[in-house]
Amino acid sequence: MEIPDKDNPYPIEGNKKICFLKNIVANPMISVGGYTYYDDEYGACNFEKNVLYHYEIIGDRLIIGKFCMIASAVKFIMNGAVHRMEGAITYPFNLFGSDWIRATPTLTLDQLPYKGNTIIGNDVWIGRNITVMPRVKIGDDAIVAVNSTVTKDVEPYVIIGGNPAKLIRYHFSSEVIWKLLVW
């Protein structure tokens, strides 16, 4: 049996819009399993541009499993986009320097709201123009419908969609899902 080479970034000859993602990701805070592919009509090199507010100093990770399918314009919003909400305002004045630094309290990393890693299971299909918020976990074999915003964890073997994304239906019967989960 001949199978595609998982180490070949562009497994379809002459096609640079579909790639096996783990071969083109350079950011060490993003890990991708084998055979997960990304499809972008403007070129597969755009993937990391869609992982937003992902700052090394914060340390959160984007973890994507094996055999996932990720369409173009999928945005992963990471922890750097989360602002403190305890004060009278949420604007980060001290970030911009000058006299604002003296007028606002100094924040340490442990005072910033940290939600955790974003984790995508195996065999997940993420449709075009999806936004995945920080710390979301999407379970194995889940399907996320086009133009959805994923704001909370997604169970395995479900189909979700909308803004915010909600359960549309289960991918299989509960008996089949149970067998797959314990397999």
For the annotated catalytic residues, the residue numbers are: 83
What single-letter amino acid sits at 150?
V
Q: Which residue has the tokens 């990471």?
A: 78
Q: What is the DSSP string of 13-72?
A: TT-SSEEEGGGT---TTEEE-TT-EEE-TT-GGGGGGGEES--TTT---EEE-TT-EE-T
Distance CA 21, CA 158 (A): 24
Closest CA to 141 of 119, 179, 162, 171: 171
